Amino acid sequence: MIKKSGLIAILLTFVFTMVNITATAYFEDADGIKHYGWNVIATEDNKQCFEFDEDGNVSNVWAADGDVANQRVNMYALRELAISADEEYTIEATFTPDSETDLSVERAYGLVAWYLDGDNYLIYWMQQKTDGGWSGQFYGRVDGTFRRYVTDLQLEGKTPSGQPENYWHSGEYNDMWWDNPNTAHPDVLEERSVLCDTPFTLQIVSKIETLTVNEQEHTVRSFELHQIIDGVDFIPSVYYVDNVREQGDGFTTGIYAEAFNFAVSDFALTNETDYAAAVTAEIENLGSVASEEDIYDVMMVRSQYEGLLALKSEVAPATVEALAAAEQDAAAYIDDLIMALDNTKSTFVEDVDTVYDLYGLMSDEIISYITKTAELAEAVNDAKDWEDPNIDPDPEDEGEEEEKKGCFGNIATTLCLLPVLFIGGGLVIKKRKRLN
């Protein structure tokens, strides 16, 4: 949230995407709190079902209290750490169901194993059926069609039919059932409704492998699935998925939910990329601030740094200080713009408008270093009823000028839409509470 600084607190409805600041996503909740390092993909109502802890990770999902009809493969919290196409990685999290869980509808929770976009995603979920049965599922699409896969159980003849199935499959479902000893954790084998009250740790180990299917060699990405209960690790299956690698770099992982209320703990991604080193390099590449574009670069890097979450500790203190110095430089640039505002120039209103908007786009950190907020407030007040001293007034235009007073440029748009108080010559714009 933008901090109150001096006499002025500006609330604008701009978002970073309007100024091309898109390197690291964040999720902004209904209270206006930014949760860096995560991107929530869901309907607007369902986005508010995701809750975050003090460490910045997803802590609870209240999907059962949301719009359940619009959650099917559209209810993700994605950890915005990009993984390359050839990289080996492990993701895991512990899921603890809410004690009020019932069997009125099918409910699911799980890990997003691989996500590029709405046509490219793979999910390892656990689904509680309404009759008390349950299953694991490795669901998803690659390039818009259901994933093309073969499993270790099929290759080894451990399917219900007991026959090897050494060929590619592409059907929508392939359940790992609760009563199959090859696919259900031994501690809950043949026990109904266990997802309603049993904490599960799910884990996925994924890597690129060479596999022979139907006498032809293929390069595939494997997904080794784990169910862990009370420290006992069980592997229900390994999926080998074709054509994942070809879809490109930059996929993400995360948490999936559907009609289930549950707590999430110990979410972790382990892979080869040194994300802290990448952020350090971005900070070291920052130069002096000489333009608005330079300011946006500083804010983008701050967003990347905040998105590291626990990995921030791997960035050296001196590097963090360098980022703060760049933000101070950006604040000085804004201060200079404010002090350059001149009410004797014909462009005064437009100049105030520009600086006002720019101030509203600044990050919390940069705003905390800006010192000329009182001067900006004074300029905004002056611009409200300002008349160009370089133009002699025309009596015939007085009526038209009266209509324009109080509304000018983008400032007017903001002032007309938000409650405004003028206190001792200072401008304070109250924050409007969001309704959703």
**Residues 240, 259: Cα–Cα separation, whole Å:** 28
* pLDDT score, position 393: 72
pLDDT tens per residue, range 143-171: 999 999 999 999 999 987 888 889 999 99
* pLDDT score, position 164: 85
pLDDT tens per residue, range 310-346: 999 999 999 999 999 999 999 999 999 999 999 999 9
Judge whether 10 and 356 are in contact, CB under 8 Å: yes
Q: In what order do the strands lie in the sheet with 89-97?
A: 50-52, 58-62, 261-271, 89-97, 200-213, 216-229, 232-241, 149-151
pLDDT > 70: percent of the chain: 84
* pLDDT score, position 344: 96
Q: Which of 215-219, 387-391, 411-415 has the lowest mean pLDDT?
A: 411-415
* Max intra-chain CA distance, the chain: 96
Burial annotation 122-132 (CB, 10 A radius, 16+ → b, else e): bbbbbbbbeee
Going along the chain from its start, the domains and CATH numbers come out as 37-273 (2.60.120.200), 276-429 (no CATH)
Q: Which of 13-27, 108-122, 168-182, 233-247 has the lowest mean pLDDT?
A: 13-27
Burial annotation 268-299 (CB, 10 A radius, 16+ → b, else e): ebebeeebbeebbebbeebeebeebebbbbbb
Strand partners, 26: 36
* pLDDT score, position 43: 97
Joined tokens for residue 168: 């590619």
Please name the residues in contact with 233: beta carbons below 8 A apart, sequence gap of 6 or more: 203, 226, 227
* pLDDT score, position 400: 55
On the 0-12 / 13-18 / 19+ scale of CB atoms within 10 A, 115 is buried
**Mean pLDDT, rounded, for 372-395:** 91
Joined tokens for residue 283: 């900070």
Nearest-CA neighbor of 305 among 250, 233, 382, 365? Answer: 365
* pLDDT score, position 162: 82
Strand partners, 92: 203, 268
**Mean pLDDT, rounded, for 270-289:** 96
Joined tokens for residue 243: 């054509």
**Mean pLDDT, rounded, for 169-187:** 96
* pLDDT score, position 395: 62
Is the predicted pLDDT of residue 429 greater than 90, yes or no?
Answer: no
* pLDDT score, position 399: 55
pLDDT tens per residue, range 47-98: 999 999 999 999 999 999 999 999 999 999 999 999 999 999 999 999 999 9
Please name the residues in contact with 377: beta carbons below 8 A apart, sequence gap of 6 or more: 6, 7, 8, 425, 426, 427
**Residues 248, 230: Cα–Cα separation, whole Å:** 37
* pLDDT score, position 25: 66
On the 0-12 / 13-18 / 19+ scale of CB atoms within 10 A, 386 is middle
Start-to-end C-alpha separation, the chain: 17
* pLDDT score, position 273: 95
